[in-house]
Amino acid sequence: MLWYKVRGQAEMKCENCRFWLRKKEAAPTNGMIKGICVRYPPKGTGSFLPVANRIANTVQPQLFETTTWPTTNNAQWCGEWRKISLGEQMVEEILDDRNRKTPKQTQKSQ
């Protein structure tokens, strides 16, 4: 796979984009980490699924709706890529550091 660089900046991949958020529970699979792209509002989706009514002995379609952002992996990219600013990167690193600590460690440090 070919990656392009922007004037010596980070590779244009989801993991280096200001709009990409790594999923907390995401463990790397084959070196890929899952996350979501929050560049645009979440998309609504709906599905009609059959639901059994045991009293009337019928099956009726019921609409199940959800909203979600696109799920991507860290190595993907798109035309909306934007570099993470230094301030955003520092905040992200602080939050990551806090999330790695257990609640007891966080209480001791405060």
**Total domains present in the chain:** 1
Q: Is the residue at 7 inside a domain?
A: no
Q: Distances in Å between the alpha carbon of 26 and those of 16, 52, 66, 74?
A: 17, 35, 21, 11
Where would I find the H helices in 38-102?
86-100
pLDDT at 38: 92
pLDDT at 52: 86
Task: Give pLDDT tens digits for 39-72.
Answer: 999 888 888 888 888 888 888 888 888 888 999 9
Q: Is the pTM here over 0.85, yes or no?
A: no
Domain that holds residue 85: 14-41+69-98
Residue among 66, 70, 68 nearest 19 (CA): 70
Q: Is the residue at 28 inside a domain?
A: yes
Beta-strand relationship, 34-37 and 71-73: antiparallel
What's the chain's Rg over C-alpha atoms?
20
Task: Give pLDDT tens digits for 68-103.
Answer: 899 999 888 888 888 877 666 655 665 666 666 655
